[in-house]
Amino acid sequence: MGPKRSVPSGSKSAPKKRRKVMNLKEKVELLDMLRSGKTAAAVGRHYCVNESTVRHIKKKEKEIREAIAAAAPTTAKYLHKPRDPNLSRVESATFFWVLDCYKKGIPIDSGIIREKAKSLYDFLKENEGEGSTSADFQASKGWFENFKKRFSLCSVKVMGEAASADQETASVGQEAARESPETPKKLIEEKGSIQLLHFKLDCSDVPEVNVLERSFSVHKVHSVKDMENIFQLVRNVIPPLTTKKHKGQDGRIGIVGGCQEYTGAPYFAAISALKVGADLSHVFCTKDAAPVIKSYSPELIVHPVLDSPNADQEVAKWLPRLHTIVIGPGLGRDDTLLENAKGIIEKSKVRGIPVVIDADGLWLIAQQPSLIQGYQRAILTPNYMEFSRLYETMFRTSVDSNDNHRCVLRLSQALGNLTVVQKGEKDIISDGEKVLVCSHEGSSRRCGGQGDLLSGSLGVLAHWAFLAGPEKTNGQNPFLVAAFGACSLTRQCNNQAFQKYGRSMTTTDMIAEVGMAFSKLFET
């Protein structure tokens, strides 16, 4: 064999071509192209990848769509195994159990907490039977450290006048524990709190006022400085107006609702979305509602499909083009429409689309909480009555009107840390970790349709905040930021319209104020 040729001095080898790594959003779009009938070769050329890569992604379709449904960021380039839902339930149960022990003054340490969590998990796994897909759970030290961070247990402390009484209780509890060494064992083996795994907790088993500091870390939004900080986060996520964009980039919003009795609500939601800054608003309504809604405005795209036999499939065709779905305005409570709305929610979850649920959409959730439970890209916007119905469904007890903040927090946690916006004299917003209070000045006028303005504007802001990413929201939950922005905007519109029309003000008057209110709050 001849000698190797020497490389001329000073010459450099060509840089190695970097392999293209597609994120989840691109993979879903690729899969949708394949579903539309395009060949693997054509799709590969479109994305500048090998045909074998396209076929490999096709094989992984189920895992990719499951990752989207589990609320994985669509910009993620690698799949992570979805979190065990049983573990989430066990952690919630353990969290409430710890608080209960704290109130009663029962001394517990990390070892007892870990054993309790493992005991609950094993109990749940055993109940699933031989077909259980749950993995083994060891409640390791690493898990416990993450559990502490997730629930901020280090921040639990007694506040106010209750401190001395609880300290006395604690000392009694510690004395009792020394006299009865079997107490920790009994605490671990007791399965009473397993009912929390199904979120059907009797509130008498939970501490009355033990408040977590983390739950109210942004609670004091009444100060001008803190409110301004949150307003700045909203301003950060608003996309700038530029001539380089094309139609649709700033938001394509879908409104699911509108029947013979209720045609105003979907119109208010859809037109509000356009007024806030969305490029396109679609309304998916019943056949008899469509002509009426179309007559309100030529700017809306109206689909008369909601009462068709395959309504969910008809709407699913449009989901790849939509950024947010708002479900509920003008939906009504007809069984067929509710069943179709259920199918649309399921299909939206599979695609990882943010979902805002309002009005009769909340009635559906109150009947079937599991439909949305754990989907953290959902935002619920109940008024007081709707909130009470949801709360009683989850906890089998009525709302404590003296502690609305804690009730909103608990409901969010019970639903899997969704964002919940309780509308009222002050709008209370929580994602199960933090609580925001929007007390921006509105008016005393409560005409019908204001909630539709809120849900429509929230649909747009949720898309913008989600797209902006954590660097623009300072690490805050984007849906918290969006909800605060939508609540503030609705209140500002209410205030401006009331100044002009007083008692005769209607939601139509409020919608006319959206542009000026938006500019005043977020652009000056």
Phi/psi for 331 (5° steps) reads -70, -40
- Give the C-alpha separation, 83 to 71, whole Å: 11
Report DSSP letters for 132-143, one per residue. Answer: --PPP----HHH
Q: Is 27 helix (H, G, I), strand (E, B) or coil?
A: helix
- Give the C-alpha separation, 79 to 281, whole Å: 32
Q: Residues annotated as binding site for ATP?
A: 423-427, 442-451
**Residue 187 and residue 108 in contact, taking contact as beta carbons nearer than 8 Å:** yes
Pairing of strands 301-304, 252-256: unpaired
Residue with tokens 């301003």: 235
What distance lies between CA 59 and its chain's CA centroid?
29
* Amino acid letter for position 391: Y
Helix segments in 36-131, DSSP class H: 40-47, 51-59, 61-69, 85-104, 110-128
C-alpha distances in angstroms, 216 versus 405, 409, 414, 457? 9, 9, 17, 25
Q: Residues annotated as binding site?
A: 330, 383-389, 423-427, 442-452
Q: Residues annotated as binding site for (6S)-NADPHX?
A: 330, 383-389, 452
**Neighbouring-strand partners of residue 429:** 421, 436
- Give the C-alpha separation, 239 to 464, whole Å: 7
For every residue of 36-59, which 3-state class applies, written as one string? Answer: CCCCHHHHHHHHCCCHHHHHHHHH
